[in-house]
Structure 1
């Protein structure tokens, strides 16, 4: 009885050991190499493959012998070892990601004029005469990450050992522009879109009112005087439909004598709409619309 019980295990050991002389398939050889890089002895490769793919040990052994690895098999192996499939088949050994020792802190990093949220691994304080490409200075509860040469203040600076930025994913804000001057409207569209907005132009209040009813916008930039009529009615319609939506009113009608200042002040005050007189600087108008959007988002 003892002999009969030991025979299967002896046969299996011989089967696994014979993998040494297995298939010459490039894929099979590479998978053997990969398993060895993970610290598995050669005679255990078939056993490990059986566990990962849910096979019998003899079935796993035959896969190595026949090199019968499907795309699904490779995907399962890659997910198990948390590597890309190319790492399984590459002739180069998989490189371990070095562990970076430091204090992980929420931070912001300046990219041009934008301050992007990030996670920074901070090292020791930077001493006199020392250099690090990126340095961190504390700004309230967060850290501000800047290039060494940019940060010229006297605040204590810490080394930045690693920086992880996860860019936010969002749809661009939709802006409706009501303006009867085609040249000005075209300039506004170009400037707003270059600043990260989607813009739709309207030459009549009725057209804008219909479009806003079907698909409300994130913000509205509207001229007060349009072909002999004021935008008072459409302003009130949109404010009723979207009580907190950012709206900005532009006008050159006062200087041109087409509208009374008191009328504009009355509507702007009642509907909580800032007023910008023409001619205006597009950069300032874009900045104001952006601020109104940020305030609206903060109040939600």
Structure 2
């Protein structure tokens, strides 16, 4: 895999879960990755900085992907900046649709690592507008049977995105918080009869649920999104109770997964000093992969409360690419445990 150190990439997505997944998948390329949660946030960042590649979510509240694209193109010296659409909608003719709207290309969600690699290497190698053949739909979709039978499939989610258990657990917590907030927001949209914002919200949940392996919830969200696009408030109102029921089961499954991934672990009193010293060494070199492997090794065990809290902070710092903060945490631990 080619090293793209110093190359700047921007990810624009209103869903935190999707931003986390995208940033994690880009980690092996050693890119400088910035995140934006809205169109306005993206505009502010692009005004200050040139990005070699921008991944822009197509459906967002407020300014949608097309509006954001046009605004970015109006910024001086930004007309040639490559912008790739992120979308949970696949199907025949999708790529041509985005090209007509002004995007250089599109990338389906959940993101497939092979399609991502093709985009990265084509645009960042300076070859101009690439001729890339992408699959129009998710190349590894869950089967119909598994979608019905599984509430949460961590193994499939981790395999699809190429992520490890510590990151997946962090991702789950982010998704859990988003889902809880979104359920209330969806109710408010129905009360206000705001079908447009309802559809945008459920669209984000659809892709986020797929990213964590909540396939049943994702399929239900997809159906609600369909009714939203058809402006059918009646069908949305009929379908929403089922979505909320599946959401409750999904939240329960997340809690059960967390319990199951804690109780089986062998208990240890303290974190391993040698591993922490190795982590500090790799922090200096920003070796994300090595740090992640060492943290995964530490995460095989359950520790006393203060030690476990530190490990959770280390994992969160690593997932956020905050190497300086991670280094400070290890240094503080070393001083307190001499």
Which is greater in Rg? 1
Higher helix share: 2
- Please give the range of the TM-score, normalised by the shorter of the 2 chains: under 0.3
**What TM-score comes out, normalization by structure 1 length?**
0.19
**What TM-score comes out, normalization by structure 2 length?**
0.17
Higher relative contact order (CA 8 A, sep 6+): 2
Higher strand share: 1
